[in-house]
Amino acid sequence: MDKKRIMLIVPMLDQGGLERVCAATAQLLKSEYAVHLVVFNGTGMIYDVSGVDLTDLHLGAADGRVGKVCNVFRRVRRVRKLKKQLGTQLSYSFGPTANLVNVLSKRKDFTWAGIRGYGALNSKGAMRLICCMADRVVSCTRVMEQQIQRQFHPKKSAALYNPCDIRQIRQQSLLGTPPEFDSFFARKGKVVVSMGREHDVKGFWHLIKAVSLVRTDVPVKLMIIGAGDYSAYRALADNLGMGEDVLFTGVQLNPFALLKKADLYALTSESEGFPNALIEAMAVGLPCVSVNCLTGPAEILHEDYEQCNDENRTVYADYGILTGIFHGSKDMDALRFTKEEERFAAELKTLLRDEAVYRRYQEAAKKRAEAFGMETYLENIKGLIEKDI
């Protein structure tokens, strides 16, 4: 019997969460389906797509409004032609620009538009168009799916959590860490860690201030793993008198070994699509304190996530601690602290001081991470594919 023919569409494969999910999806599906991957620009690909048929359109980003519009139609023509040549039965796109090309190039294929980040919902015109034309809108959390249903009324919808390779994460976590970080780990104190690029949405000034409050009672250090200059955050740490006890590692090929050397994970984001880093930290056994932001933390840390609708209260959830969201604009003044930062600091202290609570959430985190493994994702996406084609 011929394999069902599936096309995956993504702008690039050079970095980022949706790109990683697309590459993982291609690898997981290639043994059971005829998978063809389409990228708009293949420059700098870092994700493994070996063994997957791939077409690089060589149509990267264009300058100017007219250039961007023309580029969309070039991509649409190329993708529509490919769909015809390949006899594509289902096309699944990742991210706003790929979604637009996917629905506009529709032929006889069943189109899935993947919404991987909460920011996409702010582009209301594009969302209305995509939800009107796509045969199914696929979100990365249930909360996001529910909001899309209320606002944009897609024909069909589904939620597919991002896959994490739990086995590989745990294997890589046992490897060595860069020697230049040895002096940091040798310093006194337990380690709070967070991962993410240097961007205001990550709320790292809240985290640095919260850890400085913890340090008045508990010896503790902070490690932030991710891309960026971070010079303003280094200055904030210096002004708080903790410069030597805050490590900015930059991008790491193996962040999991660094996670393994930490004691707990903290998430202070204003918003998330689906926080992969939270799952990765839980996979290596780190208890977590996270703000209850949209979207993902509540669904990851609590079975009945709808019980956590109050975004301003602290919840000792099934698999970690959820705190209220942070209010106010970015504030790098080392002399000012908000009540939300104080509350977050208090929960960090609880985990660092209370051995019983720490051990409970450590074991719960490792168990919960399994629910987001590759096998679970493959089972769920196959069920959806078989339902639609």
Q: What is the pLDDT of residues 56-75, one digit of tens each?
A: 999 999 999 999 999 999 99
Predicted pLDDT of residue 121:
87
- Between CA 139 and CA 107 the distance in angstroms is 23
Contact indicator for 364, 353 with CB cutoff of 8 Å:
no
380 and 288 within one domain: no
pLDDT tens per residue, range 324-372: 999 999 999 999 999 999 999 999 999 999 999 999 999 999 999 999 9
pLDDT tens per residue, range 99-121: 999 999 999 999 999 998 777 88
Which of the 8 DSSP states describes residue 162?
P
313 and 218 within one domain: yes
11 and 158 within one domain: yes
377 and 350 within one domain: no
324 and 216 within one domain: yes
187 and 98 within one domain: no
Q: Give me the amino acid identity at 25.
A: T
For residue 239, what are its two tokens? Answer: 């002004």
186 and 114 within one domain: no
Single pTM value for the model: 0.85
222 and 355 within one domain: yes
Domain limits for position 323: 166-371
For residue 309, what are its two tokens? Answer: 């609708």
127 and 186 within one domain: no
CATH code for position 266 = 3.40.50.2000
For residue 202, what are its two tokens? Answer: 């990550």
356 and 319 within one domain: yes
Domain total in the chain: 2
CA atoms within 13 A on the CB side of 97: 20
155 and 17 within one domain: yes
For residue 53, what are its two tokens? Answer: 């048929």
316 and 367 within one domain: yes
- Between CA 159 and CA 149 the distance in angstroms is 11
Contact indicator for 134, 103 with CB cutoff of 8 Å:
yes
Which distant-in-sequence residues (6+ apart) come within 8 Å of 285 by Cβ?
362, 363, 365, 366
Three-state DSSP class for 164?
strand
- Between CA 23 and CA 165 the distance in angstroms is 12
